[in-house]
Amino acid sequence: MQNQLELRELSVRLGGRAVVQQVSLALQPGELTCLVGPSGCGKTTLLRAIAGFEQPCAGSISLHGSRIADPRHSVPPEKRGIGMVFQDLALFPHLTVAGNIAFGMRGQPRPAIDRRIDELLELVDMPALRNCYPHQLSGGQQQRIALIRAMAPRPALLLLDEPFSSQDMERREQLVQEVRNILARDGITAMLVTHDQHEAFAFADTIGVINDGRLLQWDSAFNLYHRPRSRFVADFIGQGVLLDATVLDGRTLQTELGRISGELSLQLPPGSAAELLIRPDDILHDDGSPVRARIVNRLFRGACHLYTLEITSGGRVLCLAPSHHDHKPGEQIGIRLNLDHLVIFPAAR
């Protein structure tokens, strides 16, 4: 299957500074993807380069097998067949909902435009709002109209630049799911940019973690969480700590919380000092365990508590426990490790 979008060793410089550095990735038709990373990491610049608003200084961008940008030439944004949804939505206040949706389909026969408007309004369950103006809509309704306006001309690719950031947390989670379902139903290939990893997990089939302009890992949410390839990804995705460990053999580590065996992410010589990634769900609360830890803090999350625990060395780990295990800060509880894929890194010097 031919890639819908392909970046090869793409680099972009702004003001003499390398903002995107040698990024390579590919999107399959209909795939929903996301770029996630801290503020200023280069993810929005990468999106703008794909859209045609920034010129690469190295590498190339291809859309459905045709090169649309490299250092020597660039197809203008309006001729790329790429749709964009921006953070500020940018609906035209003087146009109705139907007028906003029709804007990107100028030049098509009117009956075809009307059919597409009706189809998209049905898709988002808003047919009754066809003749309303943006100021008459709620924030969530405006979000949907901005989305289907970008979808209306059936773009080869849809780019979404933090479109949910103005919404409160509960509304944002609902919108992310709705948008994902709408895009999937219409078979649209899309890339979302966000700094919120939970938003990325809810939206995307494939997620890219970016830092300092470099794509560190392009992978599924499961692998980013459970099989990170770098310290940055391990720290940025999910909650976790690095626990001192000693490599005993090709499958076994000795840690302060006991000996543990499993598949090692990295082979180090026996006796090597290492650090083991521990997620909150990797530590079980076990009253029968001889390993004890003191509760420093707890967060009630309804079905579970997230405990911050201090272990004997003074280091701290996180533990998820069912909420009916109701312990107070200062108490000692029994814990044990529960993981079989051991993500390790050489000990920091």
Task: For residue 7, give the H/E element and its range.
Answer: strand 5-14
In the CATH hierarchy, which fold is given to the domain comprising 239-346? OB fold (Dihydrolipoamide Acetyltransferase, E2P) (2.40.50)
Q: Measuring CA to CA, which residue among 85, 84, 87, 121 is closest to residue 102?
A: 121
- Asked if the domains at 5-235 and 239-346 fall in one CATH topology, the answer is no
Q: What order of strands is seen across the sheet that includes strand 58-63?
A: 17-27, 5-14, 58-63, 66-69
Provide the token pair at 341: 């894929």
Q: To 10 degrees, the CA torsion angle through 25, 6, 158, 183?
A: -70
Q: Measuring CA to CA, which residue among 154, 195, 202, 211 is closest to residue 178?
A: 202
Provide the token pair at 226: 């459970």
Length of the chain in terms of residues written: 349
Provide the token pair at 233: 């990804």
Determine the pLDDT at residue 166: 67
Q: To 10 degrees, the CA torsion angle through 48, 51, 53, 54?
A: 60
Q: Which CATH number fits domain 5-235: 3.40.50.300, 1.20.140.70, 3.30.420.10, 3.40.50.720?
A: 3.40.50.300
Provide the token pair at 296: 């420093």
Q: Measuring CA to CA, which residue among 90, 137, 97 is closest to residue 114?
A: 97
Contact 50, 61 (CB under 8 A): yes
Residue-by-residue pLDDT tens, the chain, 349 positions: 789 999 999 999 998 899 999 999 999 999 999 999 998 999 999 999 999 999 999 999 999 999 999 999 999 998 998 988 877 667 899 999 999 999 888 888 999 999 999 988 988 889 999 999 999 998 888 888 888 898 888 888 999 998 877 677 777 788 788 889 888 888 899 999 998 898 999 999 999 999 999 999 999 999 999 999 999 999 999 888 999 999 999 999 999 998 999 999 999 999 999 999 999 999 999 988 999 999 999 999 888 999 999 999 899 999 998 888 889 999 999 999 988 889 999 997 6
d(CA 264, CA 26): 28
Amino acid at 343: V
Provide the token pair at 192: 């979302």
**Prediction pTM value:** 0.86
- Work out the angle at residue 2's Cα, subtended by the Cα atoms of residues 50 and 82, and round it to the nearest 5 degrees: 30
- Helical spans, DSSP H, in the chain: 43-51, 97-102, 110-123, 139-151, 169-186, 197-203, 221-226, 231-236
Give the domain ranges of the chain.
Answer: 5-235, 239-346
CA 282 to centroid of chain Cα atoms: 22
Contact 237, 44 (CB under 8 A): no
3-state SS string for 48-62: HHHHCCCCCCEEEEE
d(CA 345, CA 229): 9
